[in-house]
Every structure is written in C-alpha cells, then in structure tokens.
Chain A
C-alpha cells in the first residue's frame, strides 16, 4: 500500500496522475509538452540506504504549467520505505510497502522551485531495501 501525506497543493491521486501521463505522451506529438528534467534512484546493492537529491524546476512563463510526477515502487520485502519531496509550496511524504507502487503529481503555474528529494530506507537489516523512484518535471505550453 502506498500512502501520501503532507501539504500538497495540486497533488493528484495515483490514478489521476497515471491518466495525466498518457495525456502528456499525446501532447509530445503536438509540441506543447516537453520534459524539463528527470532523475531516478534506487535502493539496491550499489546505492546508499538514504539519499538526498535536489532538482531545479525552472521558472514558467505566460500560460505554461509545470507538472512534477513522482513515481515510487517498493518490492519484495515486508518493510516499508518512503520518499519525501520538499520545496517552496510543496511537501510530499510518500510511503511504500511491499510490492506496491504509486504515481503522484504536483502542479505549479510559476515554477522556479528547487526541490529536495529525500529517501527513508526501508530498514531491512542485512538485506537490500528494494525501493525505486522516478521524478520527472514536464512543462506544458498551451497552444492557445
């Protein structure tokens, strides 16, 4: 089960964000949507048990809208882990348990935000905390 809490203006539930992604892909073809930045991290054999990464969401102009999608998956073990996304106007706290995943969306009309993506280790002593996240920032520039 994936849960989310905190102050999250513009955060949609997992199904809403998933539907938005399909819309994004269609908008690529029209030249109205672009990928601005993306990072992805895992907890695994080659990764530290905790991470903290910053990502700059560029400022928006005119009628542009920024969409930040946070995808998280936990697999295989009973212990849970989580991802936090913090910055000016955004405070997402997402926890994930065994074999669960979710997609969450943050919407901004101004951008110009530096977010910090932190992770909480699933705390599996002696084993590998199997957690993965992908964070992508899209910018939508309406054609009218």
Chain B
C-alpha cells in the first residue's frame, strides 16, 4: 500500500481530540463506494440549528485505489483525478486525489496502490442540509467518498 500523496494534516485526529475535550459531537455521517466516471451523489446530511457560538464542521475523506493497469489498458497512464465536494450555505470545502499509478514497460503494476486525503470546512449556518457529490475521471478506480458533519462548541 502506498502512502498518502495529497493530504491535509487537519484530519480525524484533530477532530477526535476535540471530541475528547467534549467540544465536538457527531451529527451525521454518510459514505459511498463506486467505480464509475459518472457524477455520484453521496447522501446528504442535515445540520441542526446552531446556538450561541456553535459552528458546524463539515469533514470530507476520499480514498481511491487505481486498478487501471489490471484491465489491459495500454499507452500512457490515464490522467485520473477524483474529487469530493460539499455544498451548502457558508460551506466551502472540497478535496481531491490524483491516484496515478506507475506502470512498468509491460503495462502492469507490482501492487495496487491506495490513496487518501481529507479536508474540512466550517459554517455558522445551522438548520440546513449539506449535499455532497463526487467525480472520478477514471473508470478503473475504486473510490470511497465519506462525509461527516460535527457540531463544534468552542470553549471561549
């Protein structure tokens, strides 16, 4: 398994520490796995009403495994890219991967490679539904798109 090629260090480790501090709670999570070049809709998540200084954290995590060389694809490696985007009021967050897998001269790969990236954004607007969509440019890539929404109550 190959390590991450693109990554935000603001990941679940940070959120889990905030949960330990009693400042963050999970309100919804959804995921979708697919192999397709068609635009995918990941199930939406409703953000409840926010009170006081609360904000909502929209967390996205994207992983992909490129299987193209195993399907007899010849020539140059496909310039593949995978993205996951959240849409909602005040929500500006998206994440991508470029799961390009090196090939040998015989168009085979030694082992499948796994890529992962995550990102998060915040919004102060509650009582709304956040929607998610994912696109892969390669029909030979296993994609797992996961989205979560947390409510964050800052300590000050």
Of B20, B120, B154, which contacts A29 at CB under 8 A? Answer: B20
Whole-angstrom CA separation of A135 from B10 in the bound complex: 10
Size of the A side of the interface (Cβ < 8 Å), in residues, is 41
B92 part of interface (Cβ distance < 8 Å): yes
What residues on B are CB-neighbors of A24 within 8 Å?
14
Of B20, B82, B93, which contacts A40 at CB under 8 A? Answer: B93
What residues on B are CB-neighbors of A47 within 8 Å?
83, 85, 94, 96
A100 to chain B, nearest CB (A): 10
A34-B156, A42-B96, A46-B94 given as contacts; is B18 within 8 A of A128 (CB)?
A: no
A132 part of interface (Cβ distance < 8 Å): yes
Cβ contact within 8 Å between B81 and A134: no
A38-B121, A44-B96 given as contacts; is B14 within 8 A of A25 (CB)?
A: yes
Interface size of B as a range: 35 or more
Those of B83-112 within 8 Å (CB) of chain A: 83, 85, 92-98, 100
- Closest A residue by C-beta to B37: A45
Whole-angstrom CA separation of A53 from B152 in the bound complex: 23
What residues on A are CB-neighbors of B21 within 8 Å?
28-29, 31
Of B1-9, B27-35, B67-75, the one touching chain A = B1-9
What residues on B are CB-neighbors of A34 within 8 Å?
23, 154-156
A33 to chain B, nearest CB (A): 8
Cβ contact within 8 Å between A132 and B135: no
Q: Which of B55, B57, B95, B96 has the most CB of A within 10 A?
A: B96
Cβ contact within 8 Å between A132 and B119: yes
B interface residues (Cβ-Cβ under 8 A, vs A): 5-10, 13-14, 17-18, 20-21, 23, 39, 55, 57, 60, 79, 81-83, 85, 92-98, 100, 117, 119-122, 133, 135-137, 152, 154-156
A90 part of interface (Cβ distance < 8 Å): no
What residues on B are CB-neighbors of A119 within 8 Å?
none
Cβ contact within 8 Å between B9 and A130: no
- Closest A residue by C-beta to B13: A25
- Closest B residue by C-beta to A124: B79
What residues on A are CB-neighbors of B122 within 8 Å?
35-39
Cβ contact within 8 Å between B95 and A40: yes
Cβ contact within 8 Å between A75 and B17: no
Those of A78-114 within 8 Å (CB) of chain B: 99, 101, 103
Cβ contact within 8 Å between B8 and A35: no
